[in-house]
Amino acid sequence: MLPVLLALAQFPPEFERPFRVRDAGGEIEVEPGGAAPCFADVDGDGLADLLVGRSDGRVELRRNVGARGRPRFEKAELVQAGGVDARVPHGDGSEFTPNLGDVTGDGVPDLVSGSWYTDSAFVFAGRGTGTFAAGAKLLPFAKSGTLVDQGSSVALGDFDRDGDLDLVNADHWGETRLFVNHAGPHAFARLEASTPMRAGPKAMALDWECAPCLADWDADGFLDVVAGGWDGNLLLFAGKGTAEFAAPVILIGAPTEPPVLVPDPTGTRWSVFAQRPQVGARPCAADWNSDGILDLVVGDDVYVEGPEPVLTAKRARAKRELEVLLQDLDARSTRAWNEVRAALLAEHGYAEERLWRDEDLRDAFEVTFQRELDLAPLVRALRKARAQVALELAPLLRPKSHRSTVWVYLRRPRAAR
């Protein structure tokens, strides 16, 4: 079965066959919901590291301990900002979308991401070691009259070639705007009025969860937009040096070969085989192998199911008991979650209604609330107990896999295409 599937795979001649990115623990997997990669030098050692934004609003760092052109990554660590996990407010299909660039003007790369609830981009000022200062709003989109909706994904690049970094934002619904930086080099970014971006004769409308990136893909001196989307397509909008772009062309089409679950010889463990990134494609254009040609690093989201298992009466009874236990743990977890939230609201004298009226207050509260959940002993104990029950229950259920992965498409030199 698997060799037949592999034989059916077709890839554009511009690219080599894609491969999964590995770290010291094996092929990279992050929690389901999407993976947003950024391949850039985070710790200042001259080698590009791998940042992967997660659907829970956090971001992982895998330090590159290989050599130039031959990346080799350590196991993941959560990026720290102000002594805690770097985090942005997250929601439906929106995660930490990491970008690295100096927007504070001190010569040290900073970490910038969009967010979900806030209609804003966040900046975490860099310290040059792979750690960052606490996050702060870089730009409140909603308050600047730009009509940018929630679920922002941002990209950095010197769009007008004046020495500072400008910002492109695409919201959850695909509306895309350019924010030009008027600060100049060596100064904190001053992003003011935005300009709607166009692609050919139409407004640039990107797919939701597109996570666009800026790069001079065609080497003509102008930044282009490379964007993904939920269907798995990867698109190129060729730049002209203004907010007007060429109509999109498909760099890599949506996957047509579905992922499959394959059992091991015992039939008790399952592995996922896919030939390329799946839905929710989020690209990063970067020179992976240091050959002077931009490649594509792509995060995705994979969900696949296998057949229902045949259970004996004893195993069926065990399944029912574990499912009841899991429901009880979920109910207790919800109560514990509500207790932590109520206590935190009372401590600060807030009401839920006030949080929804005050965007800045809500953002700060949600970050604090998530931190308190991570520290609460009962919540942590219930999470641990649930994970153990889920582990025991897994072999008795229909096999499923839902995870996010990271891939690389190496680009061939023109002479080899």
In tens, the pLDDT along 381-394 reads 999 999 999 989 98
If pLDDT is split at 50, 70 and 90, which confidence band does 221 have? very high
Range with lowest mean pLDDT among 217-226, 283-292, 365-374: 365-374
| 131 closest CA partner among 109, 114, 147 | 109
Separation CA 118–CA 152 (nearest Å):
9
Highest mean pLDDT among 43-52, 194-203, 208-217 belongs to: 43-52
Are 207 and 71 found together in one domain? yes
Q: Which amino acid makes up residue 380? A: R
Are 253 and 325 found together in one domain? no
On whether the CB atoms of residues 173 and 208 are closer than 8 A, the answer is yes
Q: How large a percentage of the chain has pLDDT more than 90?
A: 56
Are 253 and 340 found together in one domain? no
Range with lowest mean pLDDT among 137-141, 214-218, 332-336: 137-141
Are 268 and 323 found together in one domain? no
First to last CA, the chain: 30
Residue-level pLDDT at 261? 82
Are 167 and 235 found together in one domain? yes
If pLDDT is split at 50, 70 and 90, which confidence band does 298 have? very high
Average pLDDT over residues 278-288: 95
Are 125 and 257 found together in one domain? yes
Are 58 and 137 found together in one domain? yes
Are 163 and 246 found together in one domain? yes
Average pLDDT over residues 234-245: 92
Residue-level pLDDT at 8? 43
Average pLDDT over residues 53-60: 92
Separation CA 369–CA 240 (nearest Å):
44
Are 265 and 344 found together in one domain? no
Q: Which structural domain, as residue segments, surrounds residue 77?
A: 2-307+401-416
If pLDDT is split at 50, 70 and 90, which confidence band does 105 have? very high
Separation CA 137–CA 124 (nearest Å):
9
Residue-level pLDDT at 3? 38
Spell out where 197-254 has E strands.
198-199, 202-203, 213-215, 224-227, 234-237, 244-245, 249-252
The answer on pLDDT for 228 being more than 50 is: yes
Spell out where 216-286 has E strands.
224-227, 234-237, 244-245, 249-252, 260-263, 270-273, 279-286
Are 70 and 202 found together in one domain? yes
In tens, the pLDDT along 25-45 reads 999 999 888 899 999 999 999
Separation CA 304–CA 403 (nearest Å):
9
The answer on pLDDT for 209 being more than 80 is: no
Residue-level pLDDT at 140? 60
| 276 closest CA partner among 3, 1, 5 | 5
Highest mean pLDDT among 37-41, 251-255, 396-400 belongs to: 37-41
Residue-level pLDDT at 63? 98
Dihedral (Cα; 30, 42, 229, 148), 10-degree rounding: 120
Which CATH number belongs to the domain containing residue 301 in this structure?
2.115.10
Are 255 and 376 found together in one domain? no
Are 405 and 393 found together in one domain? no
Range with lowest mean pLDDT among 62-71, 215-224, 246-255, 266-275: 266-275
Q: Phi first, then psi: what are they for 160, rounded to 5°?
A: -95, 10
Number of domain units in the chain: 2
| 157 closest CA partner among 69, 41, 288, 284 | 284
Pairing state of beta strands 202-203 and 153-157?
Answer: unpaired
